[in-house]
């Protein structure tokens, strides 16, 4: 595999990482999401997004009821839940300007999230999923056509990635709050996501 092929494969793997983590935060520990996340953790270990022994512990816990309990205690307690919405973290209220900006991005991309989730568009799970969707588009376009029009589309998609990254500048605060609630597994997921975001940003 040459360097270009390796880079393209890396883009697709990163896309699957973000989409899988996004679905986890949206829908929780369903059987399908557990299986997807198990594959994501293998990728995370290969990319050294966390220490191997830590990822091994995460793999062991993934199929247990401990993960259901942790997810529920963090995100399913009504008003006592840790918020997963950008608007809440930045304004203190749900469905504010960050949600509206995310809606505009989705319209510009021609993406509909109704088949993915009914959550507001600034839910961290949707933001991560959309980020992965853009990476996947970039992979497919670069492997199919290489004319000037497609190059312009690549530039446009890169701009969307940068814009989405600005919608995730609050993840460190989310991680700290999850830490304070003893959400070990989910804190690590957030940490790995931030690390992968940083790596993607550096590549540009």
The pLDDT tens digits for 91-130 are: 999 999 999 999 999 999 998 887 889 999 999 999 999 9
- What does the pLDDT look like over 16-26, one tens digit per residue? 999 999 999 99
Is the pLDDT confidence value at 1 over 50? no
Q: What mean pLDDT is reported for the chain?
A: 90
pTM comes to: 0.92
Q: Using pLDDT thresholds of 50, 70 and 90, give the confidence band for residue 70.
A: very high
Query: Where do the domains of the chain lie?
Result: 3-203
34: number of Cβ within 10 Å: 16
The dihedral of CA 179, 42, 67, 22: what is its sign?
positive
Residue of 2, 6, 36, 19 lying closest to 136 (CA atoms): 19
The percentage of residues in the chain with a pLDDT greater than 90, rounded to a whole number, is 76
Q: Is domain 3-203 in CATH 1.10.3480.10, yes or no?
A: yes
């Amino acid at each position: 595999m040459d360097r270009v092929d390796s880079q393209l494969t890396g883009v697709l793997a990163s896309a699957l990482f973000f989409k899988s983590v996004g679905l986890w935060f949206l829908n929780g520990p369903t059987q399908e999401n557990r299986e997807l996340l198990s594959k994501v953790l293998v990728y995370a270990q290969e990319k050294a997004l966390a220490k191997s022994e830590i990822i091994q512990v995460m793999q062991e816990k993934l199929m247990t009821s401990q993960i259901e309990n942790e997810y529920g205690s963090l995100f399913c307690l009504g008003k006592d839940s840790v918020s997963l919405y950008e608007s809440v973290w930045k304004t203190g209220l749900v469905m504010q300007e960050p949600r509206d900006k995310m809606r505009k991005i989705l319209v510009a991309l021609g993406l509909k999230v109704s088949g993915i989730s009914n959550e507001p568009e600034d839910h961290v799970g949707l933001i991560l999923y959309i980020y992965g969707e853009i990476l996947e588009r970039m992979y497919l376009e670069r492997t199919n056509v290489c004319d000037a029009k497609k190059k312009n589309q690549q530039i446009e998609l890169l701009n969307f990635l940068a814009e989405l990254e600005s919608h995730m500048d609050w993840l460190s605060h989310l991680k700290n709050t999850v830490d304070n609630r003893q959400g070990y597994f989910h804190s690590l997921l957030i940490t790995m996501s931030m690390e992968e975001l940083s790596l993607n940003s550096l590549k540009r």
